[in-house]
Chains A and B, each alone.
Chain A
């Protein structure tokens, strides 16, 4: 795995400027400015309540920022007049609890969005879905109901459901936190495969080993800000900020 990818040379894909988010009087994000470059694999780590999930969910406007800008494909998607649905088609998201559509078969879960949103014909979508199922080893589940799948299989399905829209970036919100331990590996393997193929990924994770191995850059968040960031070997082996040191001493 190449941790040596020079992300700063790649063009910016998402540019976040002074992002703030409050829930009522609770301030969750206080002024985040950050750029995600094309082809980068970034992980967000930090204690619970540090705002990493909220930050990730702001990137595709599942949480509406209180103030600030999020530039994606030349538009400020935090601007209320922007058609966010169009941009979301280009930003895949994977959730902690999979959120597979239980009333549809496995293949329908994958083909629904591309067909409904006119991205491809039904036949094209099915061909694409079959290729994706093959890629993650779920071909034999093609016509099953999701209730028959294990957690790991559901999450792999969730990943390819997002990939079927051919997104420019994939957002992962603790993708392995709800999995039984023996299923974590199979899901991480799929994400690693994406990273190898230069898919831009932003991953909120508690899997430090995975972050270290796969990511080009690690952002440590605490108290609604990015406290410290850097390449994994630097951040994990030589943390500078006392809060980073404190956090890493507890989890490593």
Chain B
């Protein structure tokens, strides 16, 4: 077993490294753009407009109440179909699906963050003559962001693991590398152990860093 592990690492080391980078790339893109979508959707959810509110509610509910794998399939087949001119890569289609998925979860995170900002902050800003959007951008969102930063990072950790589902479409993430290597070497357990350790080390480290961040945010107040 140990001999096999060493052999895999020396022969396929770069595959694992590339896989890790693709996984992190997918997670980072999803969370970064998902954040922007999440913020917009959260504001829609909290707006007085019934239409905006409705659209946002349908979006978050549909995403949250269907499996991610289904969403991946959906975008994988749908996007090239409706936008053939763009010649979208597999990676792009999967990234878009993950972005939509993380946007929905992020909007709920943002919504609670916005609601956790004291109403008095809004009143003070409005009483100075700031409009409601100026108040949202300069007063409420910065404070909400601070409140939800740890939850956002946790979402990043979760999405890092969820990207493994993208291997269904061979997009080059860690899990895809497992399938490739396993297919070439007829080994199953050994490559699984290696990518398992990589996933664990990465997410465990991130979780610990988040805990540090959380403590720092608390003492800063």
Contact = CB atoms under 8 A, between A and B. Distances in A.
User: Is B a genuine binding partner of A?
Assistant: yes
B127 interface: yes
B118 interface: yes
Contact of B129 (A86, A99, A101, A102): A86
A101 B128 contact: no
Nearest to A90: B129
Interface string A155-191: 0001001100100000100000000000000000000
A62 interface: yes
A20 to B, nearest CB: 21
Given A101-B139, A102-B143, A103-B143, A113 B130 contact: yes
Given A85-B129, A117-B129, A101 B121 contact: yes
Given A101-B139, A102-B143, A88 B124 contact: no
B179 to A, nearest CB: 47
A19 interface: no
Given A88-B128, A116-B134, A102 B221 contact: yes
Given A99-B120, A116-B134, A162 B146 contact: no
Contacts of A91: 127
A54 interface: no
B54 interface: no
B50 interface: no
Nearest to A96: B120
The 10 closest A-B pairs by CB, nearest first: A89-B129, A99-B124, A93-B127, A113-B128, A99-B120, A88-B129, A103-B142, A85-B129, A85-B131, A97-B120
Interface in A132-165: 147, 158, 161-162, 165
Interface of B: 118, 120-121, 123-131, 134, 138-139, 142-143, 146, 221
Nearest to B137: A116
A62 B143 contact: no
Contacts, number: 60
Nearest to A171: B127
25 contacts: A62-B123, A62-B127, A85-B126, A85-B130, A85-B131, A86-B129, A91-B127, A93-B124, A95-B120, A97-B120, A99-B118, A99-B120, A99-B121, A99-B123, A99-B124, A101-B125, A102-B143, A103-B143, A112-B128, A113-B128, A113-B130, A116-B130, A117-B129, A162-B127, A162-B128
Interface of A: 60, 62, 85-86, 88-89, 91-93, 95, 97, 99-103, 112-113, 116-117, 147, 158, 161-162, 165, 171
A10 to B, nearest CB: 24
A92 to B, nearest CB: 7
A112 B130 CA distance: 10
B123 A95 contact: yes
A147 B120 contact: no
Contacts of A113: 125, 128-130
A116 B138 contact: yes
Contacts of B128: 88-89, 92, 112-113, 117, 161-162, 165
Given A99-B123, A101-B125, 7 more contacts: A86-B129, A88-B129, A101-B121, A113-B130, A117-B128, A162-B127, A171-B127
B138 A60 contact: no
Contacts of A99: 118, 120-121, 123-124
A42 B190 CA distance: 81
B127 A92 contact: yes
B137 to A, nearest CB: 10
Nearest to B131: A85
Contacts of A165: 128-129
A112 B125 CA distance: 10
Nearest to A119: B129
